[in-house]
């Protein structure tokens, strides 16, 4: 029996097991010209604590939905509950319904052991939109196996079942409201006689017309011992249906019914129990007290959901990052983001601040450009720079309505949805690959001409994707590329050339060295110093300005030295040595030379040259 176990229960009160439940929390929020209604019915044929003749449930029950034609249905949810571990498959208006989630609570009864109770819900918006106003028949909830396998449910008269439909609707004639639907499953009974539930995500700007509704199970009209329901520590009532000491008594406010056996579907006025500026509401339930026989009695009450309707004219800023661009070896990131004002009841003002963080470090700030009406969005971009030593795999946090100190400046309908996290992978500069170098003959002053493509013979590439640079910095910024790689003169000896091979989304880097060395000079076998500007001097190619320390000695056929030259003094066929004919041009004939290159890699070169006019 559920009545009183008097002194025995008081003695055993401390020996019960802890409860298991799902805390009631915000399930869905609607901001706009919204309100709600609810219908439902019990599956008990009478209040189980008064009529102890039944244990099983009714096969079905019905309720009528009647909405004004101006009310546009936005959402509809079906809730059903009962004794036992749960039935997740039921029928509504002949349509099979499957539970989207099941909540359970446990009551540890001294005489009957552990007793489980459940609640399920399902989104039935499409069904209600299709069926509209009229009679809704709920059926096929079967908990008979649980009732038969555990007689404790019927022994202590907590055998119950019931259902309800919540309908959230929109009407342009309604004020701008915030409708918050909270759900879960929490229990009070003789073991736990008091429970406080804090509802967050509340924004009250006007308490006129504010209301709060409850869906609860297993309350009994006859067990009103120590029972109360308070809002912000104010005990509320709704007489004659719900008295201050008997809130959970099998009533339905919407139908003005007292025959919603072992279930409650009630609405209360909040105007005098909530204040403008409040951001949370405290709900407190109590049960348990001394009965008329001097013993202890308590009701068992299972709270399933709470719904609030509050006047609210506030924006609701959210942010999402749509895309980003990173470049190889660059710690700057271009972010593409969108700020929304969707779930709102007022305009989001222009210049609402936006902040971007990496591991708590502020790396960028922006702001909205325009005022966003209800349901509007605005897209923009920003370039942020992360520290040089950042891990290439990083997570950036974007927060709208953040002034850079993680503080907001705009009051919103929901202050907890301003943050968006997104992962980014930086494109790290690849390791440099060294290629074999190129060697060129010194063409003077340690310079040579190179075809830079010859260093890439082992690579597969398209010339359109290749560029050459004299420094790594230029390569990274793609500036000052070598314009004619096939005909390049080095600027130092040796010189390092950097190659950038585009390989989307990044690129590859190569380097190779240009070296210039002195190649053997080429000595002609004749010249004609006749001042016709053609072949007028002993032009030893690859000698001048290359072997800059060389010495050239010319001898006649008798072995007499007639000329000595060096890098600054080539031979134009004139005599500058010997006793006679200084400054005169030598006659036609064969002359002999010794060329001292003064290079440790070369021995002196000896040969002849023919002079003719």
CATH number at residue 478: 2.60.40
Give the range of the structural domain holding residue 334, as residue numbers without chain letter: 318-425
Are residue 543 and residue 452 in the same domain, yes or no?
Answer: no
Are residue 165 and residue 219 in the same domain, yes or no?
Answer: yes
Are residue 419 and residue 556 in the same domain, yes or no?
Answer: no
Residue 1 covered by a domain: no
Around Cβ 139, how many Cβ atoms within 10 Å? 17
Task: Grade residue 215 by pLDDT with cuts at 50, 70 and 90.
Answer: very high
Are residue 345 and residue 420 in the same domain, yes or no?
Answer: yes
Measured distance between the N- and C-terminal CA atoms of the chain, rounded to whole angstroms: 141
What value does the mean pLDDT of the chain take?
A: 91
When mean pLDDT is compared across 14-23, 51-60, 149-158, the lowest value belongs to 14-23
Last residue of a domain, one of 374, 406, 425: 425
- CA separation for the pair 47, 221 (Å, rounded): 8
Are residue 342 and residue 488 in the same domain, yes or no?
Answer: no
Token readout for 364 is 């960028």
pLDDT tens digits, 430-460? 889 999 999 999 988 899 999 999 999 989 9
**DSSP strand pairing (449-450 vs 432-434):** unpaired
- CA separation for the pair 162, 187 (Å, rounded): 16
Residue 105 has pLDDT above 60, yes or no: yes
Residue 2 has pLDDT above 70, yes or no: no
The tally of domains found in the chain comes to 4
Are residue 96 and residue 145 in the same domain, yes or no?
Answer: yes
Are residue 464 and residue 539 in the same domain, yes or no?
Answer: no
- CA separation for the pair 231, 281 (Å, rounded): 7
Q: What is the mean pLDDT of residues 560-588?
A: 93
Last residue of a domain, one of 382, 398, 425: 425
- CA separation for the pair 115, 320 (Å, rounded): 46
Are residue 35 and residue 182 in the same domain, yes or no?
Answer: yes
Non-local CB neighbours of 528 within 8 Å, separated by 6+ positions: 534, 535, 536, 611, 612, 613
Are residue 494 and residue 547 in the same domain, yes or no?
Answer: no
Task: Grade residue 416 by pLDDT with cuts at 50, 70 and 90.
Answer: confident
Are residue 560 and residue 420 in the same domain, yes or no?
Answer: no
- Return the CATH number at 328: 2.60.40.10
Are residue 510 and residue 536 in the same domain, yes or no?
Answer: no
Last residue of a domain, one of 407, 425, 443: 425
Are residue 290 and residue 190 in the same domain, yes or no?
Answer: yes
């Amino acid at each position: 029996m559920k009545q009183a176990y008097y002194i025995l229960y008081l003695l055993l009160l401390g020996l019960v097991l802890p409860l298991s439940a799902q805390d009631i929390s915000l399930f869905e929020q609607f901001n706009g010209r919204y309100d709600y209604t609810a219908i439902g019915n019990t599956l008990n044929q009478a209040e189980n604590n008064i009529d102890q003749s039944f244990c099983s449930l009714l096969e079905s029950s019905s309720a009528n939905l009647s909405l004004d034609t101006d009310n546009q249905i936005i959402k509809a949810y079906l809730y059903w509950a009962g004794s036992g571990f749960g039935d997740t498959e039921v029928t509504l208006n002949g349509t099979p319904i499957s539970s989207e989630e099941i909540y359970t609570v446990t009551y540890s009864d001294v005489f009957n052991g552990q007793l489980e109770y459940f609640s399920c819900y399902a989104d039935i918006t499409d069904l209600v939109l299709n069926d509209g106003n009229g009679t809704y028949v709920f059926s096929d909830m079967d908990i008979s196996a649980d009732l038969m396998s555990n007689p404790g449910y019927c022994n202590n008269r907590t055998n119950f079942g019931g259902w309800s439909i919540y309908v959230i609707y929109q009407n342009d004639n309604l004020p701008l409201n915030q409708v918050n639907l909270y759900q879960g499953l929490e229990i009070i009974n003789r073991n736990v006689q008091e429970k406080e539930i804090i509802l967050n995500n509340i924004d009250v700007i006007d308490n006129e017309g504010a209301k709060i509704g409850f869906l609860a199970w297993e309350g009994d009209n006859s067990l009103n011992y120590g029972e109360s329901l308070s809002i912000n520590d104010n005990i509320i009532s709704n007489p004659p249906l719900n008295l201050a000491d008997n809130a959970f008594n099998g009533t339905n406010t919407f139908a003005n019914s007292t025959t919603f056996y072992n279930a409650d579907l009630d609405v209360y006025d909040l105007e005098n129990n909530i204040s403008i500026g409040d951001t949370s509401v405290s709900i407190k339930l109590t049960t348990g007290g001394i009965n008329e026989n001097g013993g202890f009695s308590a009701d068992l009450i299972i709270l399933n959901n709470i719904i609030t309707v509050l006047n609210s004219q506030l924006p609701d800023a959210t942010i999402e990052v749509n895309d980003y661009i990173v470049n190889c070896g660059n710690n700057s990131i271009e972010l593409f983001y969108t700020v929304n004002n969707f779930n709102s009841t007022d305009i989001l003002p222009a210049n609402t601040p936006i902040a971007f963080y990496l591991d708590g470090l502020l790396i960028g700030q922006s702001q909205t450009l325009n005022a966003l009406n209800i349901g509007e969005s605005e897209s923009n971009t920003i370039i942020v720079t992360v520290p040089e030593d950042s891990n290439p795999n990083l997570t950036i946090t974007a927060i709208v309505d953040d002034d850079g100190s993680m503080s907001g400046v705009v009051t919103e309908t929901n202050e907890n949805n301003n943050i968006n996290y997104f992962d980014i992978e930086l494109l790290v500069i690849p390791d440099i690959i060294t290629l074999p170098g190129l060697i060129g003959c010194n063409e003077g002053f340690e310079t040579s001409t190179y075809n830079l493509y010859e260093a890439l013979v082992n690579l597969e590439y398209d010339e359109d994707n290749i560029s050459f640079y004299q420094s790594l910095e230029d390569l990274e910024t793609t500036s000052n590329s070598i314009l004619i790689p096939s005909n390049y003169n080095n600027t130092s000896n040796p010189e390092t050339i950097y190659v950038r091979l585009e390989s989307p989304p990044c690129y590859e880097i190569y380097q190779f060295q240009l070296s210039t060395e002195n190649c053997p000079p080429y000595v002609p076998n004749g010249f004609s110093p006749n001042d016709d500007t053609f072949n007028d001097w002993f032009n030893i190619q690859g000698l001048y300005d290359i072997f800059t320390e060389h010495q050239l000695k010319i001898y006649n056929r008798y072995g007499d030295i007639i000329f000595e030259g060096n890098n600054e003094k080539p031979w134009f066929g004139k005599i500058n040595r010997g006793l006679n004919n200084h400054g005169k041009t030598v006659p036609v004939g064969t002359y002999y030379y010794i060329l001292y290159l003064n290079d440790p890699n070369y021995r002196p070169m000896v040969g002849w040259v023919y002079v003719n006019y």
